[in-house]
Amino acid sequence: MTASPAFERLAIVGIGLIGSSLARAVRAEGLARTIVCADANADHAARAKAIGIVDEATTDPAEAAAGADLVMLCVPIGAYADVARTIGPALKPGAIVTDVGSVKQAVIDAVAPHLPEGVHLVPGHPVAGTEKSGPDAGFAALFPGRWCILTPVPGADEGATRKVADLWRACGMTVERMDPGHHDRVLAITSHLPHLIAYTIVGTATDLEEHLRQEVIKYSASGFRDFTRIAGSDPTMWRDVFLNNREAVLDCLQRFTEDLTALQRSIRRGEGDALFDLFTRTREIRKGVLDARQA
Amino acid sequence: MTASPAFERLAIVGIGLIGSSLARAVRAEGLARTIVCADANADHAARAKAIGIVDEATTDPAEAAAGADLVMLCVPIGAYADVARTIGPALKPGAIVTDVGSVKQAVIDAVAPHLPEGVHLVPGHPVAGTEKSGPDAGFAALFPGRWCILTPVPGADEGATRKVADLWRACGMTVERMDPGHHDRVLAITSHLPHLIAYTIVGTATDLEEHLRQEVIKYSASGFRDFTRIAGSDPTMWRDVFLNNREAVLDCLQRFTEDLTALQRSIRRGEGDALFDLFTRTREIRKGVLDARQA
């Protein structure tokens, strides 16, 4: 790129799957002059430096954030308040703080109170991921063709919001804006409930007697393995998602349980028509996913 | 192959995903001199002939089975009894009848009474598949590296069982023997419960208001899409699986529901440690699946 980079100093706090994917994409697209990361795990920070995806690495978020024009929070949501409290005093006027968390209202509540006057908060969520974790798991191709949702708060600085949108667009994402509460309800069903269900079914299998558990692994290609992939996701990240999107998740779960109970009754009563009818309707949604090129 | 084929005439009843995959694999490996298929759907039968994966095609199972030394049932389980009743009188002495169904005890109950003296029943289940259906969906590479479970009944002819085992081995599968009831319990958790859950969650999304449903499709890459893939499977096949493995499926479902209720309570009470503990334990099963090369 011949133009000067969009950001002088990008600070990525948390260099896991998403953080390290972003570092790679930003590097590849020349979007920041300097990329610095902070990670509480010193090995991860050092590793990010060693593999050359960041210019500087530290375990101190304030050190990374000092002088940054963009700070990207990529830590589990439960750590947001502490990180915000730590970096707050180090942020320069006009700095933008954004994030990649799967929950948005709780993030605003946790971060906003700790940011000084003149610093802009732009909550964001690149809807992409894999079940892998850590700085080696990231890859720049994670983002292209996927959606990024920004949930700016009322009165947010339009220029700051646009800069964050441009960053994700440059990484290949399509950017949408949404109300934080609406985001949390949509993601509860598309992401949080599926993870909850996958964790549960794999947990149910974990509790089987040893011999049966080995057979479940052996014959997992018949459906179970897809759930194990989802249930192999980062435990800390997902604990924090469920604790921070409690209402929406519990509401979805309630609907799901009602539907499951109805299906259970159909099986017990041998109501083949009801089963066939449901299994036919669900195919339409699959077709929608394929048509939307999200498969 | 220079050796003479293992079977003179192989009859495949039902030329869907599994039947057409088998036809392709048998052809590729030269395992039968003549492959004939029967399918109640005349278009599917004609298509199989047109694309050259079978030598003869008919809508009449008795016509296909007449003179066959091996008859492979690849229709939904609910159709087994009718097919067995139809082909019974046409079967030659010494013929082997086997199948690919996901439930085994119910298959034995449905088929065995209709087979004449001197015909051998060898129930089987190649544990492989995709969510696709129909003769064009099949491919020979579906089988290699996967397991095939045979559940011979007491007093079954050992030579017949071995011939079926050899067929699946030649298609690249590893063959195991199992008690039919045990098979049904193992598959209830590895395959039937995952499909039931996936159908339910996609059904829950189907019932959302139109606007929200479109957003669920749009952001499905965050977890939901994996469930839509599973829930895109053949409705008739799966209706029959649930109706024919009722006890084992309901038992699994009961355990799953108890575990889900416990998790729901942990979320409601904000018990982060309990969530973290479960999400960590499930990673072990994922590791097992990867180690077993079933991912």
> CATH 3.40.50.720 occupies which residues in chain A?
7-178
Rounded distance, CA A221 to CA B30, Å? Answer: 27
Top residue of A131, A132, A284, A286 to mutate, by most chain B CBs within 10 Å, is: A286
- State the Cα angle at A286 between B257 and A102, rounded to 5°: 65
Distance in angstroms (rounded) separating the CA atoms of residues A142 and A25: 9
Residue whose C-alpha is closest to residue B122's, from B94, B89, B157 = B157
Angstroms from B213 CA to nearest CA on chain A: 9
Which chain A residues contact residue B191 at CB under 8 A? 219, 222-224
Query: Could you count the other beta carbons within 10 Å of the beta carbon of residue B56?
Result: 16
As a whole number, the mean pLDDT across chain B is 94
CB pairs under 8 A between A and B: 307
Can you read off the two tokens belonging to residue A216?
Answer: 């479940």
Nearest chain B residue to A289, by CA: B217
CATH 1.10.3660.10 in chain A: give the residue spans: 182-291
Cα–Cα dist B179/A243, whole Å: 44
Whether residue A201 and residue B197 make contact (CB cut-off 8 A), yes or no, is yes
Which whole-number Å values give the CA distances from A33 to A5, A9, A17, A36, A73, in the listed order? Answer: 6, 6, 22, 10, 19
Cα–Cα distances in angstroms (integers) from residue B256 to residues A196, A198, A199, A208, B243, in the given order: 12, 11, 11, 11, 19
For A102-130, the pLDDT digits (tens) are 999 999 999 999 999 999 999 999 998 88
Q: Give residue A295's pLDDT band: very low, low, confident or very high (50, 70, 90).
A: low
Span A196-245, pLDDT tens digits:
999 999 999 888 888 888 899 889 888 888 899 899 899 999 999 999 99
Instruction: Residue B194: list chain A partners with CB under 8 A.
Output: 201, 222-224, 226-227
CB contact under 8 A, A223 and B279: no
**Hey, of A17, A183, A197, A254, which one would you mutate to test binding to chain B, going by the most B CBs within 10 A of its CB?**
A197
Per-residue pLDDT band at B157 (split at 50, 70, 90): very high
DSSP bridge partners of A73: A13, A99
Question: Is residue B1 scored above 50 in pLDDT?
Answer: no
**CB environment B163-177: b (16+ within 10 A), e (fewer):** bbbebbebbbbebbe
How far, in Å, CA of A104 to CA of A97, rounded? 14
CATH of domain A7-178: 3.40.50.720
Q: What is the rounded distance in angstroms from the CA atom of residue B161 to the CA atom of residue B66?
A: 21
**Contacting residues of A for B215, CB less than 8 Å apart:** 186, 190
pLDDT above 70 coverage of chain A, percent: 98
Residues 6+ apart with CB under 8 A from B207: A255, A259
User: Would you call B238 and A212 a contact, using CB atoms and an 8 Å cutoff?
Assistant: no
pLDDT band at A294; cut points 50, 70, 90: low
Nearest to B193 among A201, A246, A288 (CB): A201
Instruction: Give me the pLDDT at residue A2, please.
Output: 52
**Residues from chain A contacting residue B181 (CB–CB below 8 Å):** none
Percent helix / strand / coil, chain B, rounded to 5: 55, 15, 30
Q: List, for residues B171-208, the tens digit of each pLDDT value.
A: 999 999 999 999 999 999 999 999 999 999 999 988 88
Closest residue of B to A102, CA-based? B222
Cβ-defined contacts of A289-293 (< 8 Å, 24+)? A289/B217, A289/B220, A289/B224, A289/B225, A289/B228, A292/B217, A292/B218, A292/B220, A293/A145
- Quote the tokens at residue B284: 């072990």
Q: Which tens digits make up the pLDDT trace of A42-62?
A: 999 999 999 999 999 999 999
Whole-number average pLDDT of chain A: 94
Task: Closest CB to B216: pick one of A190, A267, A283.
Answer: A190
Contact A220 B294 (CB under 8 A): yes
DSSP states of A247-261 as a string? HHHHHHHHHHHHHHH
Contact B34, B54 (CB under 8 A): no
Burial class (CB in 10 A: 0-12, 13-18, 19+), A269: exposed
Q: What is the DSSP letter of B240?
A: H
Reported confidence tier of residue B2, pLDDT bands at 50, 70, 90: low
Q: Which tops the pLDDT comparison, B212 or A98? A: A98
Distance CA A145, CA B133 (A): 28
Mutation target among B18, B175, B190, B199 for the A interface, most CBs of A within 10 A? B190
ipTM (interface predicted TM): 0.91
* Chain A residues whose beta carbon lies within 8 Å of the beta carbon of residue B220: 190, 289, 292, 294
Distance from CA of B54 to the nearest CA of A (A): 27
| CATH 1.10.3660.10 given to domain A182-291 | yes
Q: Which chain B residues contact residue A189 at CB under 8 A?
A: 204-205, 208, 212, 216, 224
Residues of B in contact with A205 (CB under 8 A): 189, 285
Interchain proximity B216–A186, CB inside 8 Å: yes
Which residues in chain A are closer than 8 Å to B260, comparing Cβ atoms? Answer: 196-197, 200, 253, 257
Q: Which residue of B has its CA nearest to A253?
A: B264
Mean pLDDT within A155-164: 96
Beta partners for residue B38, in sequence order: B13, B58
Are the Cβ atoms of B275 and A243 closer than 8 angstroms?
yes
Cα→Cα distances A12→A50, A82, A146, A237, B281, Å: 16, 15, 21, 17, 29
Q: SS3 of B72, please?
A: strand
Nearest to A205 among B189, B219, B231 (CB): B189
Q: What pLDDT was estimated at residue A1?
A: 47
Q: B interface mutation test: which of A239, A254, A269 has the most B CBs within 10 A?
A: A239
- Cα–chain center distance at A60: 22
**Selected residue of B201, B230, B250, B293 to mutate for chain A interface (largest A Cβ count, 10 A):** B201
**Cβ within 8 Å, pair B128-A221:** yes
